Structure 1
Amino acid sequence: MRKLVAALTVAGLLGGTATVAEAKPSGKAALQEQLDALVGQFPAALASVSRGGRTESLVAGSARLGSRVPVPVDGRVRAGSNTKTFTAVVVLQLVAEGKVALDAPIERYLPGLVPGGSAITVRQLLQHTSGLPNYTEYLGLEDVAKLRHRYFEPHELLAVAFAHPAKFAPGTKWEYSNTNYVLAGLLVQRVTGRPVAEEITSRVIRKAGLRNTYWPAAGDEGIRGPHPQGYARSGGEVVDVTELDPSWGWAAGQLISTPGDLARFSRALLDGRLLPAAQLAEMRKTVDAPLAPGWRYGLGLFRVPLSCGGEFWGHGGDIHGFETRGGATDDGRAVGLAVTALPGTFGDGDQGAQAVLSAVDAAFCR
């Protein structure tokens, strides 16, 4: 769930593959080569690629560091900041229902909570143009061993953020801040009177038919079902962080999913199955996101250029143990990719992050 800084300086193990549906051998081989190349930088890589109504899932590496354990096909991983897109969809559904106004100040819905909230709109929260400080910069997440079992309430996260001054005047620039989406989650709860986890589950996960995506309940530190182990560096050592408390991510990064479900979610979103046309159009109104050339950000959604022309729409997520990337195109392609460590855990961070982005690009363009 990092800001993708390393990834976007532009974010002896067993290799294997399993196929849900056959694709052209040359394309499949090319993608498998990309996944195999990720092993070394990461213990394992998992991918799901859909086009023309056919889906194929591939894996590489080992599910457990130091052992030869097959990677579960389309295994579950921590989805990190992909959660933001789910949260944004719920907010936009509430806009469609007339319960939230995109250009109203957040003060209207969360009175007295946000410093300068009368000048910060709901749209600016979803688009990362609010100027609010990012609480994850001050939480001490670099010491994963210290915080991995720590439970956080959303208001604790906001207290960390609001102890620091705003980065810029609302609407004057773009800067990624997880604080925006904690507030978006609280907005959902205030308007609906229900937990954001419940709203995301009923309004998005079930509606999109995602069978392997869920919001971990309070105190749930494991990953249910088949999954690879996730690893992080702490105190100069690499540790298994598969079990951790994701509450510090909350509406900005708490979900667990699979590459296949993340691709299906992106496909359902672009196909108009989750939002009315007017709200999907608002979601796709972008501003420059200076993380990499050509990247732009809508409302919980990146627009990313492809080397073969065109672009895909998606998000991505970085959380201790896992990095996920992918999205969908308007012409029917969808990709989900996951690796089982953050870039830099086992090698050069910039190289690892770029390798993941290159693999996603290759999956779309092959």
Structure 2
Amino acid sequence: MQKEFIDFIQQHSFETGITGASFTIQCPTYHNGKEITYNAGHQSKNGKPVTNKSLYQIGSLSKSFLVVVVLQLEEEGLLNLEDKVAQFFPHDFKKWQDISIKKLLNMTSKIPSFTDGNDSDVILELIADPILNYSSQDILNLVKDKELNNLNWEYSNTNYVLAGKIIEKVTGNKLSTEIQSRILIPLHLKSTYYIKSIPKIDIMFHDLENLMSGYFYELEGSEKKFNGLDIINLSMSRLKAAGSLISNSSDINFFIRTLFESKNFLSRKQQKKLITMIDQATGDELKSTSIPENSLAYGLGIEAKHHPKFKTLVYGHTGGTFGFQSAMWYIPDKKLSYYFALNTSHEEAYNKLELLVEEYIVQRFF
């Protein structure tokens, strides 16, 4: 796999901007049950080689972390998934008053996503002010007066920014503090960081040398003048609860395994809620064990599907920022977890890396 990984970087670096990638896999029947990580390339165009410690922006994988906080708060009786927005913000978000926390988390709220639009416009804004500091309220104000959509299910990053604001209202703490105390410290995820603005400011000094650069590529429309831009020194404040974490491959692999295997991290009751799935096509609730083969499903910050190559159910999430893409998956039948990440937003690079990873897994486990 190491050779294939290196070949992949060399073949696609020019047209996709990729300089580095990582892939971690763990299964009880493989490598004595220990995780193994393959790395290739460099952390930037002129940087040091990628290692197991290299840090990637993980984008929407962050949503699974937020959901853990919500489920723990519900277990403690501090909120309920059926609580409505009106209970927390009775004088704001008038169009969202009757929407429950559950509908925010499973993407059935009908609230438009604040990220719908031209990415180049946002990049231009960030270039003008690299240390831009959006608040959650700033982001929610972008869409709070828009009409709700008429779709039974639609992915919306706004949902998770609002859910993060509810967490802060309930606890009196910053979301970053709750994630730190409830997840990062208990699981010893020492290389996972909630980024408030500039990555270099919010990560520990000893991890600075592990920070990956990420390269922006606009694939749609005619505006491509920012292609190849390194976004590492641009603010991540616009992502907030929807995608503000940076981590390494080992931490994410351990997190996804803990999410599905630990009896202490989430109670069985809360684990069941985590994977109570919504059919993305119809908005209908599905039993987690009876997801139709051609359906994509979404629970609480967790996706599910019958993998066409593995021919079994997989759970996880994908993520992307302006310069990174990643995915984490767990296969219950095999107790197999895997994670991969790369430092470009170019979709073709992601698709080809995903294909390479899946072929590797099929050959060894199916």
Q: TM-score by structure 1 length? A: 0.82
| Distance of aligned partners of 1:218 and 1:237 in 2 relative to their CA distance in 1, 3 Å threshold | closer
Pairing 1:235–2:248 present: no
Distance 1:320 1:173 in 2: 28
- Asked if 1:44 is matched to 2:11, the reply is no
Is 1:215 aligned to residue 194 of structure 2?
A: yes
Structure-2 change in CA distance of 1:338 and 1:254 (3 Å): same
Cα distance in 2 between the residues matched to 1:313 and 1:36: 29
Shift of 1:145: 4.1
- How far did residue 37 of structure 1 move? 2.7
Cα deviation code 1:55-97 (max 9, x no counterpart): 11111223222x4842223411111111111001101111111
Q: Distance in 1 between the 2:199 and 2:8 partners?
A: 33
Aligned match of 2:352? 355
Indicate if the aligned counterparts of 2:199 and 2:232 stay in contact, CA closer than 8 A: no
Larger helix share, 1 or 2: 2
Does 2:106 correspond to 1:114?
no
Shift of 1:362: 3.6
**Mapping 1:56-95, distance limit 5 Å:** 56-65=36-45, 67=46, 69-95=48-74
- Aligned to 2:237, what secondary structure does the other structure show? helix
Secondary structure in 2 matching 1:161: coil
Equivalent of 1:265 in 239, 252, 255: 255
CA distance in 2, matches of 1:36, 1:177: 36
Letter of the structure 2 residue corresponding to residue 342 of structure 1: S
Note the residue ranges of structure 2 that are not aligned, 5 or more in a row: 218-223, 283-292
> C-alpha displacement at 1:286, in angstroms?
0.6
Asked if residue 33 in structure 1 is aligned to residue 34 in structure 2, the reply is: no
Structure 1 stretch displaced more, 139-148 or 310-319: 139-148
The corresponding residue for 1:174 is 153
- CA distance, structure 2, for counterparts of residue 134 and residue 271 of structure 1: 32
Aligned to 2:167: 188
Counterpart secondary structure, 2:142: helix
Moved more, 99-108 or 78-87: 99-108
| Correspondent of 1:323 among 319, 322, 325 | 325
Q: Distance in 1 between matches of 2:318 and 2:295?
A: 16
1:299 shift after superposition? 0.4
Taking only the aligned residue pairs, the percentage that are identical comes to: 26
The unaligned stretches of length 5 or more in structure 1 are 1-28, 344-348
| Contact 2:330–2:338 (Cα < 8 Å) also in 1 | yes
The one-letter code of the counterpart of 1:260 is S
Cα 1:138/1:354, change in 2 over 3 Å: closer
Aligned partner letter, 2:320: D
- Name 2:288's counterpart in structure 1: none
Q: Distance in 2 between matches of 1:207 and 1:359?
A: 33
Contact 2:61–2:328 (CA under 8 A) maintained in structure 1: no
Quick one: distance in 2 between partners of 1:244 and 1:95?
35
Corresponding residue pairs, total: 327
Q: Given that residues 325 and 343 in structure 2 are in contact (C-alpha distance below 8 angstroms), is that contact kept between their aligned partners in structure 1?
A: yes
CA distance in 2, matches of 1:259, 1:293: 29
Amino acid at match of 2:21: A
User: In structure 2, what is the equivalent of residue 98 of structure 1?
Assistant: 77
What's the TM-score once normalised by structure 2's chain length? 0.82
Partner in structure 1 of residue 289 of structure 2: none
